[in-house]
């Protein structure tokens, strides 16, 4: 997800076939297209025969929470295939690339612009219809599916859905090139926090997400997971054969959210109940930092400041890295040097009163060390940036394998060594 330096959550609005719809945003935001739609000529293409396998695909992740501020994965796309750096985003469904169709306006990219295939997704294709709010869309051109995505930082992408080959190496040893739908974005408006990436990898729950499409073709289970290392990097996976489900702490996905949410949580501080409850929470890999609503944030910062009373840390308002930073007697080299001053946090999720599952956040999961050697709080006030829910961002998911099982409708997590790719598996994309 596009984010400012505070990691603002991405709101996505998808316009498809000239009709405004909401895809992954938490609130509606009306927006008109800046340019007319392009028309592409369709070409016939035969569907490739795919073997149905019970397997997974694993991708190395690059980047970190700080100082880079985002993660990316490399996908090869097209025939012949070419590499693209994408932002893995569990908060939105649509995968799209900046596209030479030709491009009306594109931002800087690390690779040449994607050259689209002529395999268009039709307006009434189920993948296109899945982008709509309920109702019958108006199709100005029945042969193509138009979309527009808009981000909270002011960025946007306008384009059409196409299908192209995605070459994958599966952990079973099988190599396949399924044809999947993606957005060809031919008109981008850069946002205030634009990163030098080729596009976005949509990992949400919707039918148009890449893993949902792979599942519909019988290639993987409809499961997504990631493991982000506190030292930077990690891995992303599709499928369910690289973890032991019996060792994972599971919470059911909430029926109150269309995003990856374990429902309502209670904030724990130092292993004790705080009484701050009812925190509807979403896991979002597109947000670098964690966000709490104003009430929870003010309570948390009060407890932290009170707990630091008499200790050798002093607030450092001159450090603008994040809203709340502290300096020690000497600059900190890493979070390990500062964590002794802070208590562990947790969110306790209640499964309709039947059971409770705890998401633990040790100091390493909510602190960073700034370039000035100060320790800063990586939990921010979501109300101040317009969020209507609480967000577990990348910082709090570090050194855990986090799993989104769309078949069992459950979210799971387990401590893990995210520096190493899963053992004895064929890994990555060729």
87 is catalytic: no
Using the structure block, give the residue that is written with the tokens 């408006």.
189
Structure tokens at 251: 């919470």
Cα–Cα dist 243/75, whole Å: 23
Active-site choice (87, 89, 187, 399): 89
Structure tokens at 157: 């992408």
Buried b (16+ CB within 10 A) or exposed e, 187-215: bbebbebbbebbbbbbbbbbbbbbbbbbb
Tell me the DSSP string of 63-117: EETTTT-EEEEEEEETTTTEEEEEEEETT----EEEB-SS-SB----SSPPB---
Q: How many CA atoms lie within 13 A of 265 on its CB side?
A: 28
CB atoms within 10 A of CB 76: 17
Cα–Cα dist 37/138, whole Å: 14
Contact between 379 and 331 (Cβ < 8 Å): no
At CA 237, angle to CA 80 and CA 182, rounded to 5?
Answer: 45
286: left (phi over 0), alpha (psi -120 to 50) or beta: alpha
Structure tokens at 280: 């509807």
Q: Nearest 5°: phi and psi at 308?
A: -85, -5
Cα–Cα dist 283/259, whole Å: 8
Cα–Cα dist 50/216, whole Å: 12
By residue count, the chain amounts to 430
Active-site choice (198, 284, 394, 399): 284
Tell me the DSSP string of 364-393: GGTEEE-TTS-EEE-EEETGGGT-SSEEE-
Contact between 90 and 75 (Cβ < 8 Å): no
241 is catalytic: no
Cα–Cα dist 70/32, whole Å: 29
Residues assigned a catalytic role: 89, 284
């Amino acid at each position: 997800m596009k984010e400012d330096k505070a990691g603002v959550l991405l709101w996505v609005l998808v316009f498809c076939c000239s009709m405004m719809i909401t895809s992954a945003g938490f609130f509606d935001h009306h927006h008109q297209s800046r340019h007319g739609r392009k028309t592409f000529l369709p070409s016939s293409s035969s569907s490739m025969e795919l073997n149905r396998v019970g397997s997974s695909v694993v991708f190395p992740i690059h980047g970190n929470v700080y100082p880079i501020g985002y993660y990316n994965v490399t996908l090869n796309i097209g025939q012949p295939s070419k590499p693209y750096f994408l932002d893995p985003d569990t908060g939105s469904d649509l995968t799209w690339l900046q596209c030479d169709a030709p491009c009306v306006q594109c931002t800087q990219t690390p690779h040449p612009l994607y050259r689209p295939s002529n395999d268009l997704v039709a307006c009434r294709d189920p993948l296109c219809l899945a982008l709509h709010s309920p109702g019958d869309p108006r199709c100005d051109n029945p042969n193509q599916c138009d979309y527009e995505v808009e981000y909270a930082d002011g960025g946007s992408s306008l384009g059409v859905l196409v299908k192209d080959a995605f070459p994958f190496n599966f952990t079973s040893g099988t190599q396949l090139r399924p044809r999947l739908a993606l957005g060809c974005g031919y008109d981008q408006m850069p946002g205030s926090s634009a990163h030098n990436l080729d596009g976005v990898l949509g990992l949400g729950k919707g039918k148009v997400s890449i893993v949902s499409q792979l599942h519909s073709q019988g290639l993987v289970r409809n499961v997504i997971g990631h493991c982000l290392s506190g030292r930077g990097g990690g891995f992303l996976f599709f499928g369910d054969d690289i973890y032991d489900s019996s060792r994972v702490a599971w919470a059911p996905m909430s029926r109150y959210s269309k995003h990856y949410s374990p429902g309502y949580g209670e904030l724990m501080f130092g292993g004790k109940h705080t009484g701050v409850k009812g925190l509807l929470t979403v896991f979002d890999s597109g947000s670098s930092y964690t966000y709490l609503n104003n009430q929870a944030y003010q309570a948390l910062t009060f407890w932290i400041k009170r707990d630091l009373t008499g200790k050798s840390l002093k607030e450092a308002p001159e450090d603008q890295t994040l809203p709340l930073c502290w300096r020690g007697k000497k600059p900190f080299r890493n979070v390990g040097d500062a964590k002794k001053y802070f208590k562990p946090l947790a969110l306790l999720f209640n499964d309709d009163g039947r059971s409770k599952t705890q998401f633990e956040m040790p100091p390493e999961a909510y602190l960073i060390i700034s370039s000035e050697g100060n320790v800063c709080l990586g939990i921010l006030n979501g109300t101040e940036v317009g969020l209507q829910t609480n967000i577990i961002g990348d910082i709090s998911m570090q050194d855990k394998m986090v799993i989104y099982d769309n078949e069992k409708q459950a979210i799971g997590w387990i401590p893990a060594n995210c520096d190493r790719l899963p053992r004895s598996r064929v890994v990555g994309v060729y």
